[in-house]
Every structure is written in structure tokens, then in C-alpha cells.
């Protein structure tokens, strides 16, 4: 191999290594059949060298005899040009003489003339992960993910249940962690008994468990779950102690294998948190959680999720003006995310934001929204220097310790003035630690950033949030507005919220202003700002500039 070819090989290998996240990297120059492998793989499997000639054959000798034929077939297809990717699971012989389970994924890289140049990818050594939970003896989260991937490879329809306990910290506080572990073991045993011969049980993170069943429908799984919940809430005995435990449950059906396992897990977690936050623990089947055809919806979410990974392809922002209630001149804009592609058209955020909030990719989308909104907002500040840009925040962004620093970096990069930024939070933030929220918001306000509490009045904890977390703006939800010109109760409610907010030095913005009658009624209610279709529906930034730019 020439020095130039080796340099190209090493450069590309280094690029693979940056995104490998703890996996072994391999890269082969296909014309020379010379490969470079991660040194950690060389050491673990006792390979000949970091650089190897005919590495495919060398590696084949390390693969378990029962798995070798499928591996050899896949590699032959790669080098014959009949396949451009490699996704296979096998057992490989380690240096200590034991076999470990591995997943190998690779792709062929072509040149501009469509010739095969490199074959590279990663190998994940599952032997380095704990596939069994030490407390319950069940398969762990890693085992769950591994088995779910196997189901997708084999295209086996299944139903998946995610269950977890509410307020389990109370058990640990009262009885101690040793007893808490006994409770988890007992729960694991109960699930194993209830689903014996019907599904595999897993201990997930924290106090959550999962079940994968290839024979039960989601309705049958929900019925079993209901019986388990009844048992846990009445006379559940552990070490001669009788407990009453609250169980939450989410269920998803898998029969579409054109999506990713990550999307399925994301939908499963969304159904679980719907059960926990909105359904008092009753099992939520994903198709019931959002009103859309389940198969179409999951496919749509998978496409949207992939769009986030592709530099937020297909996403765009619309902006809805916020008007001064006295002058009816523009005083702010709310940035609202949208997504579209040729297959699904334009998709509103209500169909994907609540689900994507459960996804590890969501912070990436949140960063994109903030950056885009700041760049767009700057275009209006020249002629409207006091204009406030409102951007919605997810609780998942706020719970990230790195978020405040990332926000400040974005402000520096875009040159957007902090005093013109308002971050909107919702009641969902109640699940976060109050001390964390106070510290984060104190930092934001020190830089002049404003905080708005969105959808005020839609949940039980809005008043508590306003009391505990100082905010600058309270946004009254549209459900109090649609009949305000005829409903004395709604008129009185808006006035009470306005007076209440005033005691906390917060302004009031009302959403859902869709007619002149509604506007006239609200102007009498001591509110500061108005927002709704009466003034403008959410529109792209160029339409905002055409109307308000000068």
C-alpha cells in the first residue's frame, strides 16, 4: 500500500472513530484488501495487528462455527459487489477463550465513478455490557434492545409493554434500599409468572420493566396488565410488609419493520408517560395516545426522527405575531415548528413533538429551533428593537445540565440580544426539580432573558409553578377564550388569572384570539398581549417581514 493510500485510510478511519461511541472500528481498502482495526479490538480478540491483509478471512476464524457461514456469505457479497451494506450478529472468540455476542454493521463507500473503494463500519461487543440485571435476575435494558433488534431482523410481529412504579422513592425512604430491592425482585417475579409462556420480561432503567410478547395482542397485554395493577394496589406483600403500589403502563404494537427500533422505543415511552401523567396509571396503547392511524403514525414518526438525524431536514419555522392589547401593534413573535415532506405533506407539531420529547435526538432539534428562530428574529429587530421572540422549551432540554451554556453559546454565535428572547415552558416542567428550575431561570434572567408559563390553567400545578418559579409572562390557554364573549364564568376566570399574575409581577398574554368579539371582551380583562388568528395565523418569516419588516 502506498503512503498516500495509507494516509487516506487512516484519515477515514479516524473519522469513523469519532462517531463510534465505544464500538470497534474497521476500515478496509477494497482494492488492496488491507484493513485497519481498532487497537482495542486487536487486544480483546488477540488479532495479528492493527493493520491486516485479508482481514475478513482472519476475522472469520474468530467467529463461532455455527455463525461463520452467514458471516462469510455476507462478506463475499460485499466484495463481489452484490451488496453494499453489512448488518449481522454473531459470536466471536475473545482472547480468554470465551465467545462474546457481537453486532457488526458496515457500508461500502464508493468514489465518484461508482466504484467500490472502502468497506468500513463498527463492531459492538455485547460482552462488555451487562445483559442481566443483578437485582432481579431478568434480562437488562441492553438485553431488551438486543432482543428488539433481533425481532426486527427476523420481522416477527409483537406487542411490547413498558410498566413502572410511581413514587417508589417513598418505599426506599421508609423501608430502606435493601427492602426496595426486594420489592423490585418481587415485581419481576410477578411479571415473569403472569407472562410465563407468553412473553419475555426485562428490568429496564430505574423502576421500569418491559415485556415483549410474540403471541399476545396489545388488548390482551392490557388485560393482563390490569390484573397485575389490581394485585399491586391491594395486599401486595413483600417480606411480611403489605404495600400498595401504583403502576403505570404503555403498550405499542410492532408490525411495521420499515422503521427503527429507536422509534418504537420512543413511542413506547410516550405511551408510558401518557399513562403516568394523564391516565392515572391506566394502560395506554400507543394508537390510542394520539388520534391517528397507528401504522401510518409510527411510520411518519420514524421519517421525522430520521429527518432530525439528517441535520433537521424538512423542518421549518412559522411565526405568529403577539400584539399589544392597548395599541394592537406587534410586540412579539412566537416561533412554531413545522415539518413537511412529499409523502406526508405538512405535519403539525402536536403529532410529533410530544413523542420526540422522549427521544435522545430531541435536544438536537431543540438547538436547531433556537438557532433558526434567533437568526430569523434578528431580521425584525432593526425596525422593532423592542420586539420579543418567544421560543418553546421542552422539559427534556431544561433537565440537561449543559443546556444553559449551550443557550449562551447560541446567543453569542447568532448575535441575538438576550433581552429580546423569551423562553416558554409548560406545566410538563413540574416533573423537574424545583431547585434546578430556579437556578436555571435565575441565570437566564440575569442575562435579561424572559420566561413565559404557557397554557396556564390547563393543569393542576400551574398555580404552584407560578408561585415557585418566577416568570415574566403568563399565557392563558385558548380553552378559556373561545366563549368569553358569552360566558361570564370565562370572563371572570381570565380576570382572576390576570389579577393573580399581577401579584407576581407577571404580564398576561391570551392565546386563541380568533374574532373581533373575543378581542373586545379580552381588552376589558386587564391583559397585556393578544395572540391568535384574528391577527394572523402562524406564517413563514418572509410573510412576517413583508407585513412588519418596515
Which residues have C-beta within 8 Å of that of residue 336, sequence separation ≥ 6? Answer: 317, 318, 319, 320, 349, 392, 538
**CATH number of the domain enclosing 79:** 3.30.450.20
Place of cell 478471512: 57
Average pLDDT over residues 328-348: 90
Please tell me the distance from the alpha carbon of residue 422 to that of residue 333, in angstroms, as a whole number: 10
Residues paired with 330 in a beta bridge: 323
The β-bridge relationship of strands 315-324 and 330-341 is: antiparallel
Question: Phi, psi (5° rounding) for residue 91?
Answer: -105, 135
Domain membership flag for residue 219 = yes
Q: Which residue has the higher pLDDT, 138 or 449?
A: 449
Contact 451, 445 (CB under 8 A): yes
- Domain stops at, among 67, 97, 128: 128
Question: Can you give the pTM of this predicted structure?
Answer: 0.64
Domain membership flag for residue 68 = yes
Shared-domain flag, residues 245 and 158:
yes
Which residues have C-beta within 8 Å of that of residue 320, sequence separation ≥ 6? Answer: 333, 334, 336, 531, 532, 536, 537, 538, 539
Please tell me the distance from the alpha carbon of residue 12 to that of residue 153, in angstroms, as a whole number: 29
Which residues have C-beta within 8 Å of that of residue 469, sequence separation ≥ 6? Answer: 434, 437, 438, 441, 451, 453
Shared-domain flag, residues 217 and 85:
no
Please tell me the distance from the alpha carbon of residue 414 to that of residue 369, in angstroms, as a whole number: 13
**CATH number of the domain enclosing 237:** 3.30.70.270
Domain membership flag for residue 271 = yes
Q: Which residue has the higher pLDDT, 383 or 416?
A: 416
Please count the residues of the chain: 550
Shared-domain flag, residues 159 and 122:
no
Domain membership flag for residue 75 = yes
Residues 470-487: tens digit of each pLDDT = 789 988 888 888 888 888
No. of helices (H) and no. of strands (E), the chain: 20, 22
**Among 548, 322, 307, CA closest to 424:** 322
Chain mean pLDDT for the chain: 86
Shared-domain flag, residues 535 and 411:
yes
Specify the 3-state DSSP secondary structure of 164: strand
Residues 160-218: tens digit of each pLDDT = 999 998 877 777 777 787 888 888 988 998 898 899 889 999 999 888 999 999 999 99
Specify the 3-state DSSP secondary structure of 162: strand
Q: Is residue 542's pLDDT more than 60?
A: yes
Instruction: For residue 294, give the C-alpha cell.
Output: 397507528
Contact 24, 45 (CB under 8 A): no
Residues 230-266: tens digit of each pLDDT = 888 877 788 887 788 888 999 999 988 888 888 888 8
Q: Is residue 16's pLDDT more than 80?
A: no
Please tell me the distance from the alpha carbon of residue 64 to that of residue 92, in angstroms, as a whole number: 6
Average pLDDT over residues 340-344: 86
Average pLDDT over residues 2-14: 84
pLDDT, position 21: 61
| Number of domains composing the chain | 3
- Domain stops at, among 256, 289, 322: 289
**Among 172, 279, 165, CA closest to 232:** 165
Q: Is residue 464's pLDDT more than 70?
A: no
Domain membership flag for residue 303 = no
pLDDT, position 449: 94
Residues above pLDDT 90, as percent of the chain? 33
pLDDT, position 315: 94
Q: Is residue 458's pLDDT more than 80?
A: no
Q: Is residue 290's pLDDT more than 80?
A: no
List Cα–Cα distances, 457 to 390, 451, 492, in angstroms.
19, 17, 13
Average pLDDT over residues 454-479: 72
Average pLDDT over residues 138-150: 86
Shared-domain flag, residues 451 and 322:
yes
pLDDT, position 535: 93
Neighbours of 236 (CB within 10 A): 18
Shared-domain flag, residues 362 and 251:
no
Average pLDDT over residues 383-400: 88
Shared-domain flag, residues 108 and 146:
no
Shared-domain flag, residues 36 and 119:
yes
pLDDT, position 460: 42
pLDDT, position 293: 46
Please tell me the distance from the alpha carbon of residue 120 to that of residue 347, in angstroms, as a whole number: 36
Phi-psi region of 21 (alpha: psi -120 to 50; beta: other; left: phi over 0): left
Q: Which residue has the higher pLDDT, 132 or 284?
A: 284
Helix locations, 195-293, DSSP H: 218-233, 261-277, 286-289
pLDDT, position 459: 52
Shared-domain flag, residues 229 and 334:
no
Q: Is residue 446's pLDDT more than 70?
A: yes
Contact 309, 533 (CB under 8 A): no
Phi-psi region of 191 (alpha: psi -120 to 50; beta: other; left: phi over 0): alpha
Domain membership flag for residue 33 = yes
Q: What residue ranges in 200-355 does DSSP mark as E strands?
A: 200-203, 208-213, 236-238, 241-243, 247-254, 284-285, 315-324, 330-341, 345-347
Which of 195-217 are b and which e, b meaning 16 or more Cβ less than 10 Å from the residue's Cβ?
Answer: beeebbbbbbeebbbbbbbeebe
Average pLDDT over residues 74-90: 87
pLDDT, position 417: 96
Shared-domain flag, residues 183 and 99:
no
Please tell me the distance from the alpha carbon of residue 203 to that of residue 206, in angstroms, as a whole number: 8
pLDDT, position 278: 78
Contact 238, 218 (CB under 8 A): no
Shared-domain flag, residues 414 and 457:
yes
Residues above pLDDT 70, as percent of the chain? 93
List Cα–Cα distances, 240 to 57, 235, 286, in angstroms.
60, 11, 37
- Domain stops at, among 128, 161, 186: 128
Average pLDDT over residues 37-64: 91
Shared-domain flag, residues 381 and 466:
yes
Residues 509-519: tens digit of each pLDDT = 999 999 998 89
Confidence label for 345 from pLDDT (cuts 50, 70 and 90):
confident
Q: Supply the Cα-derived Rg of the chain in whole angstroms.
A: 28
Domain membership flag for residue 353 = yes
**CATH number of the domain enclosing 521:** 3.20.20.450
pLDDT, position 440: 84
Range of the domain at 36: 3-128
**Among 190, 274, 254, 183, CA closest to 224:** 190
Specify the 3-state DSSP secondary structure of 165: strand
Please tell me the distance from the alpha carbon of residue 454 to that of residue 439, in angstroms, as a whole number: 20
Residue 319: exposure state from Cβ atoms within 10 A (0-12, 13-18, ≥19): buried
Confidence label for 418 from pLDDT (cuts 50, 70 and 90):
very high
Please tell me the distance from the alpha carbon of residue 83 to that of residue 130, in angstroms, as a whole number: 33
Please tell me the distance from the alpha carbon of residue 321 to that of residue 326, in angstroms, as a whole number: 15
Confidence label for 433 from pLDDT (cuts 50, 70 and 90):
low
Instruction: For residue 25, give the C-alpha cell.
Output: 472500528
Amino acid at each position: 500500500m502506498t503512503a498516500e493510500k495509507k494516509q487516506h485510510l487512516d484519515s477515514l478511519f479516524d473519522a469513523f472513530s469519532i462517531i463510534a461511541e465505544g464500538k470497534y472500528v474497521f476500515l478496509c481498502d477494497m482494492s488492496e484488501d488491507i484493513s485497519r482495526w481498532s487497537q482495542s479490538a486487536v487486544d480483546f480478540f488477540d488479532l495479528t495487528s492493527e493493520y491486516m491483509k485479508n482481514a475478513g478471512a482472519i476475522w472469520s476464524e474468530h467467529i463461532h462455527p455455527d455463525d461463520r457461514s452467514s458471516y462469510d456469505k455476507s462478506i463475499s457479497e460485499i466484495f463481489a459487489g452484490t451488496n453494499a451494506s453489512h448488518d449481522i450478529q454473531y459470536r466471536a472468540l475473545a482472547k480468554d477463550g470465551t465467545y462474546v455476542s457481537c453486532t457488526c454493521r458496515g457500508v461500502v463507500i464508493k468514489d465518484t465513478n461508482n466504484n467500490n473503494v472502502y468497506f468500513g463500519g463498527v463492531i459492538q461487543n455485547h460482552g462488555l455490557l451487562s445483559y442481566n440485571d443483578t437485582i432481579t435476575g431478568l434480562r437488562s435494558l441492553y438485553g431488551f434492545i438486543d432482543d428488539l433488534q433481533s425481532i426486527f431482523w427476523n420481522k416477527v410481529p409483537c406487542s411490547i409493554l413498558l410498566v413502572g412504579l410511581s413514587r417508589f422513592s417513598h418505599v426506599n425512604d421508609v423501608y430502606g434500599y435493601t427492602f426496595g430491592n426486594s420489592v423490585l425482585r418481587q415485581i419481576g417475579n410477578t411479571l415473569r409468572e403472569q407472562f410465563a409462556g407468553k412473553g419475555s420480561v426485562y428490568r429496564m432503567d430505574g423502576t421500569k420493566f418491559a415485556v415483549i410478547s410474540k403471541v399476545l395482542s396489545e388488548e390482551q397485554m392490557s388485560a393482563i396488565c390490569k390484573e397485575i395493577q389490581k394485585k399491586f394496589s391491594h395486599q401486595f406483600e413483600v417480606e411480611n410488609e403489605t404495600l400498595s403500589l401504583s403502576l403505570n403502563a404503555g403498550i405499542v404494537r410492532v408490525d411495521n419493520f420499515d422503521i427503527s427500533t429507536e422509534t418504537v422505543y420512543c413511542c413506547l415511552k410516550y405511551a408510558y408517560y401518557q399513562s403516568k401523567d394523564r391516565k392515572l396509571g391506566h394502560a395506554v396503547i400507543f394508537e390510542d395516545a394520539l388520534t391517528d392511524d397507528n401504522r401510518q403514525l409510527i411510520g411518519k414518526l420514524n421519517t421525522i426522527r430520521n429527518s432530525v438525524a439528517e441535520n433537521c431536514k424538512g423542518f421549518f419555522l412559522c411565526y405568529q405575531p403577539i400584539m399589544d392589547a392597548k395599541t394592537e401593534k406587534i410586540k412579539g413573535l412566537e416561533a412554531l415548528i413545522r415539518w413537511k415532506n412529499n409523502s406526508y405533506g405538512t405535519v403539525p407539531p402536536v403529532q410529533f413533538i410530544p413523542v420526540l420529547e422522549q427521544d435522545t435526538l430531541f435536544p438536537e432539534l431543540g438547538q436547531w429551533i433556537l438557532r433558526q428562530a434567533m437568526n430569523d428574529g434578528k431580521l425584525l429587530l432593526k425596525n422593532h428593537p423592542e420586539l420579543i421572540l418567544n421560543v418553546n422549551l421542552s422539559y427534556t432540554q431544561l433537565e440537561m445540565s449543559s443546556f444553559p451554556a449551550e443557550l449562551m453559546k447560541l446567543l453569542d454565535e447568532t448575535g441575538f440580544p438576550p433581552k429580546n428572547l423569551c423562553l416558554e415552558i409548560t406545566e410538563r416542567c413540574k416533573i423537574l426539580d424545583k431547585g434546578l428550575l430556579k437556578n436555571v431561570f435565575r441565570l437566564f434572567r440575569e442575562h435579561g432573558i424572559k420566561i413565559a408559563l404557557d397554557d396556564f390553567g390547563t393543569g393542576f400545578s400551574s398555580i404552584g409553578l407560578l408561585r415557585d418559579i418566577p416568570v415574566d409572562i403568563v399565557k392563558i390557554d385558548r380553552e378559556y377564550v373561545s366563549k368569553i364573549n358569552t360566558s361570564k364564568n370565562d370572563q371572570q376566570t381570565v380576570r382572576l388569572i390576570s389579577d393573580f399574575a399581577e401579584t407576581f409581577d407577571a404580564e398576561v398574554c391570551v392565546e386563541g384570539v380568533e374574532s373581533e368579539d373575543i378581542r373586545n371582551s379580552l381588552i376589558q380583562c386587564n391583559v397585556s398581549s393578544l395572540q391568535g388568528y384574528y391577527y394572523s395565523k402562524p406564517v413563514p418569516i418572509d410573510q412576517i417581514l413583508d407585513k412588519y419588516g418596515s
